[in-house]
Structure 1
C-alpha cells in the first residue's frame, strides 16, 4: 500500500508499506479521503513537540472497513466510517471522568502512531464511527475538525443570550462559528482576523459582524459598537490574545482557548476575578464524534462550505504548500486515495 510518511522534518515521501492486519479489537479502513490540518504541516516542518519520526501523518480520514480483528462483529465489514484519532487507556483519572482526550497515556493517530494519509489504516474498533448514508463522503471527512469545535462548545455551554467573539477565521474558528450559530443558537457572533478574505469566509459561515484588527485597536472598536462579549473563543492561538480577551470580556463571561503556544503571557488576576470570568482550555475531542455526526445528519452544520481544494494523494506536496501559503483562498484541503 502507499503511505505518505514524514521521515524527518522537511522530508516527506510516498512509500510502499506492507498492508497492515488488524489486531484483536481493531478494524482496518480502506481510506477514501483525508483532510490536511495545521498540525500535519507542523509535523512536516518539525514544529510539533509530540511527534516521533518517521510518521505517517493524518488524523482526519474517512473510508470503509474492509477487515476486522478478533472480537469485532463481522457485520462491521463494509461500514462507511470516520476515525477518531484519540486513543486512550480507559482507566486513568482523565479517562474515568470522561476526559480521554487528556489521557495520561494518550496516543494520537497521526502524531504518536501512524495516521490516515495512507491507503489503509488500522485502529481500535471503538474509534471507527459509522457514517449514515445521508452524509456525503467529503462531508464525512470533515467530522474530526468539527469535533474540535464541539469540544470547546460543550465546555462553554453557549446559548441565545450570548454575544460571541471568535478570534481567528481559519478552520477552527469557522467550525466554531458554524456550531455557535447552527447548533447552539447564538444570535450575535463577531469574527476577528487580520485577513479580509478569511473574514469573508467567516461571514459566509454565520458571523454577523467581522472586524479586521490588523490596523485598529479591538477594544476601542468594540467600545464604539457598545459590544461586551459574554463568550470569547481564541481560535487564532496567539499568546497575546488571552490577556486582551480578559479585558474585553463582560462580567460572568467565558473564555475558551484552543492554542498550544509555549510562549508566556502575563495575566492580571484582578481582571479575571473582579468579573468572575471562567477560562476553559480544550485539546482534541472528548468522545464528540457521535455528536458531530448527528449535527451533520440534521444539517445543523455545513462542512462543504469549508472545503476549498481537493488533490489526489500523489500531489500531497502541492496540497501542503497551498494549505500552508494561501491563507486568503484556502481553508480545508482534502486528499483523495
Structure 2
C-alpha cells in the first residue's frame, strides 16, 4: 500500500513523496496519522536553520493518530487505540536518562528531526512513545499535547506557586501554552506577557494573562515600574539573545528565570547580576516524560488547546500551511495538518 509523506529533501526543497507503508519493528507500533501540528522547528528544518536536522527528512514531531499495526513483543490490544506520540526517543542508560532527563539523552533521537516524523499518512514509533487518549478528548486537543509538554517541562523546573508574579516574554505558541499552565495548573498570582504584536497579546489574554504589555516603543522596565510589578519568575519564550540580560535586571531577588529557546547568538550577563540577587536560571529542551502529566491536565479540563488553533490545512497544502505559519504572525498561532481521515 502506498502512503504520502512530506519530505524535506534538502533545505528549501519540499516534496510530497509516495512510498510503501512500513512495517513496525520489534517493540514498535505503526500509527495511522490523522492530525499533525506545525512547529517553528519544522520551518527551521525546511529553511535549513535547524542545526540538529539530518536530510532527507519527513518532518513533524507533533502528531496524533490510531495504531493500525504492532511489532513483535507488543500486545495486539493496542490495535485501534487513539494515541498522541512523544517524539523524544532516548537510550535509557546514560546519565541524563538515569536521573529522569531523557530529553537531553547523550544519544537523543527526535522524531521529525533525527528520524522520520509525523507529516506522513503512516509512521512507526516505539510503543512506549504512543500515549493512549481517552475518547472524550477531541483529535484537535490530542494533537496539541506535545506543545503543552514544552510548557510542562519548564514549569516543572521552575516550580511556580501562588506566591509568584510571572513575566512571559513572547505570546507565540510556547508562550501561550506556558501562560495557560501558569494560570490554570499552578495558580500563579499574576501573569504578565510582553510582546510587540497586538493580536498576539489578545491571544495571551484569551489564555489567561492578567497584564498585557506592548513593549514596541516603551522600555519594559519603565512599564513594569509604573505599574508596581516586580516579577519573581521570568520565562523567555521569545528567544532573543538580549532578553536574559534584561531579565536579570527586571526580576526580584531570589527569582527564577527559565529559557526555552535555541538562539546561537551570544548574550552578555554579569556574575554580579546573578549572585547579587541569588537568581536561579533554568534551561529547557523538549519534554522529559511529560505526556502523562499533560494528558491529566486535559482530562481534568485545566488547559484549553483550542484557544491556540487558528488554521487547518490538508497534507497537500503543506507548503501553504508552512508559509502561513511563518509569515502571518498577527493572525496565525497553531496550524494543523489533516494527514488522513
Same fold per superposition (TM over 0.5): yes
| d(CA) in 1 for partners of 2:68, 2:123 | 10
Deviation of 1:97 after TM superposition, in Å, equals 0.2
Give the TM-score taking structure 1 as reference length: 0.99
**Equivalent residue number for residue 242 of structure 1:** 244
CA deviations on 1:212-232 (whole Å, 9 max, x unpaired) are 111111111111111110010
Number of positions where the alignment pairs a residue of Structure 1 with one of Structure 2: 337
Q: Which residue in 2 is equivalent to 1:34?
A: 36
The two structures have a TM-score, normalised by structure 2, of: 0.98
Structure 1 position 14, deviation (Å):
0.3
Q: Distance in 1 between matches of 2:300 and 2:189?
A: 20
Stretches of structure 2 lacking an aligned partner (at least 5 in a row): none
Which residue number corresponds to residue 48 of structure 1? 50
Q: Which runs of 5+ in 1 are unaligned?
A: none
Aligned to 1:299: 301
- Among 252, 255, 264, which residue is 1:253 paired with? 255
CA displacement 1:250-303 (0-9 Å, x = unmatched): 011000000101110111111110111100000000000000001011110000
Output the CA distance in 1 between the equivalents of 2:130 and 2:311: 25
What residue number does 2:159 align with?
Answer: 157
- CA separation in 1, counterparts of 2:257 and 2:60? 29
Aligned mates of 2:216, 2:54 — CA distance in 1 = 36
**Deviation readout 1:19-65 (Å, 9 max, x if unpaired):** 01100000000000000000000000000011011000000000000
Q: Secondary structure at the match of 2:217?
A: coil
d(CA) in 1 for partners of 2:127, 2:248: 42
Partner of 1:214 in structure 2? 216
Name the CA distance, whole Å, in 2 between partners of 1:186 and 1:282: 20
Structure 1 residue 9: Cα displacement: 0.6
Question: Matches of residues 134-283 of structure 1 in structure 2 within 5 Å?
Answer: 134-283=136-285
CA shift, 1:17, in A, is 1.6
Divergent runs of 4+, >4 A: none
Write the distance in 1 (CA, Å) between the matches of 2:66 and 2:6. 19
Give me the whole-angstrom Cα distance separating, in 2, the residues matched to 1:32 and 1:87. Answer: 21
CA RMSD between the two structures: 0.5
Distance 1:83 1:203 in 2: 29
Measure how far apart 1:187 and its partner are. 2.1
Partner SS for 1:17: strand
Shift of 1:247: 0.3
